[in-house]
Amino acid sequence: MSNPSLLILAGDGIGPEVMAEVRKIIDWFGTKRGISFDVTEDLVGGAAYDVHGVPLSDATMEKAQEVDAVLLGAVGGPKYDKLDFSVKPERGLLRLRKEMDLYANLRPAQCFDALSDFSSLKQEVVSGLDIMIVRELTSGVYFGEPRGIIKEGNERVGINTQRYTESEIARVARSAFELARKRGNKVCSMEKANVMESGILWRDVVQEIHDAEYPDVELSHMYADAGAMQLTRWPKQFDVIVTDNLFGDLLSDLAAMLTGSLGMLPSASLGAPMANGRPKALYEPVHGSAPDIAGSGKANPCACILSFAMALRYSFDLGAEADRLEAAVNAVLAKGIRTADLLNTEGVTPASTSEMGDAVIAALEESL
Ligand code: NAD
């Protein structure tokens, strides 16, 4: 049987720097765990624009459709700020998400023990926190029609439309219930059914899918504004949260920051199952290309490394190996090895990007 395939799109800025550390880890799994991937590398974002004049070539898009998973670094940078909107680096990422139809965006908020004093919240509120926000990514108010800015009499009117079909709600609800079964078996669905018809439908459909297909999973419903309050008051009450595109955009950023640095946050975007049963999948750190530190060796590679851990778990059914990698990151932090973004004390020398990657490899070795 052939190895599972992985397309690596390192992108711009710190993207290639953090991805180099993931490559070391992929090699480690090959030599030490006998888990090998057929890895192809290609260009996205500004790097693709420089070569092809577009932020994602058709050939790269085709490859992305064929592989078992895509791992992306980051795109963008000041060099490309003045480009036409249609060829901006970010359009490459949007094209991937759209054409792969990645409708479920998974954003974990997990507190690593050694970083529990790094949150702006009290330690007891965040220590041990492990929640997953599932955000609907391909519909809702960011895509609904009609939209635009029109003239009404003497003034301009800005219009966006929140629109969800039953099937769009049902498929992301299934993603959330499936995930919950592999975690704490609890889903909280968030919308604004008190003031929005799309929220009423959202609540109804999530409940119907639950009752028909996932009665074993504990389901609750919450208004999204109350959800934001509860997330900062006592986030540990949640396991999986499922919500729409707009509320998910805000709530996932809020939840992610409960745990500290942007340099630690992975994400996954999943679509429908392919012929081999694996979901279409794109894994990427939440952070951008960080032009302010690009090229200085200061980038924290953990978000990208943890994105690869998500790939092991969700694309390749290697949950135990994902646990091993996450535990290795935790062990490195527990030893006090930190990149600059994780240090709030003077006088401690930060680890460089590659030193952090090497420390994770050393911790993986210790796990054997
Ligand atoms: P950013 O995430 O790149 O950086 C925000 C801040 O966090 C910066 O100070 C940066 O140094 C720091 N930071 C980010 N990642 C880090 C890491 N791994 N280790 C240490 N520090 C880290 O966001 P921005 O500055 O708003 O955007 C910069 C560029 O990235 C823009 O062109 C933007 O469009 C693009 N962007 C891309 C993505 C993506 O590729 N998914 C996401 C967000 C922003």
pLDDT band at 65 (very low <50, low <70, confident <90, very high): very high
pLDDT of residue 158: 96
Instruction: Average the pLDDT over 145-165 and give the result.
Output: 96
pLDDT of residue 237: 97
At the fourth CATH level, the homologous superfamily of domain 1-108+262-368 is: Isopropylmalate Dehydrogenase (3.40.718.10)
Average pLDDT, the chain: 95
CA-closest residue to ligand 1 atom 16: 263
Instruction: Looking at the chain, list the stretches that DSSP marks H as alpha helix, in order from N- to C-terminal side.
Output: 15-33, 46-52, 58-66, 89-99, 123-126, 166-181, 197-213, 224-233, 245-257, 302-314, 319-334, 353-366
pLDDT of residue 256: 82
| DSSP 8-state assignment for residue 352 | P
161 CA to centre of ligand 1 in angstroms:
29
Give per-residue pLDDT as tens, 79-124. Answer: 999 999 889 999 999 899 989 999 999 999 988 888 887 788 888 9
Write down the pTM of the prediction.
0.93
| CATH 3.40.718.10 location in the chain | 1-108+262-368, 130-258
Measured from the Cα of 77, ligand 1's closest atom is 32
CA 3 to chain centre: 24
| Probe target for ligand 1 pocket from 19, 81, 115, 287, with the most ligand atoms within 8 Å of CB | 287
pLDDT of residue 244: 98
CA-closest residue to ligand 1 atom 6: 290
Give per-residue pLDDT as tens, 204-220. Answer: 999 999 999 999 999 99
Percent of the chain with pLDDT over 90: 87
What is the phi/psi pair of residue 40, to 5°? -120, 145
- With vertex at residue 18, the alpha carbon angle to CA 12 and CA 24, rounded to the nearest 5 degrees, is 130
| CATH class for the region spanning 130-258 | alpha beta
Give per-residue pLDDT as tens, 226-279. Answer: 999 999 999 999 999 999 999 999 999 898 888 777 899 999 999 999 988 899
Tokens of 155: 């003034």
Alpha-carbon distances of 308 from 18, 29, 100, 169, 220, rounded to whole Å: 11, 11, 19, 27, 31
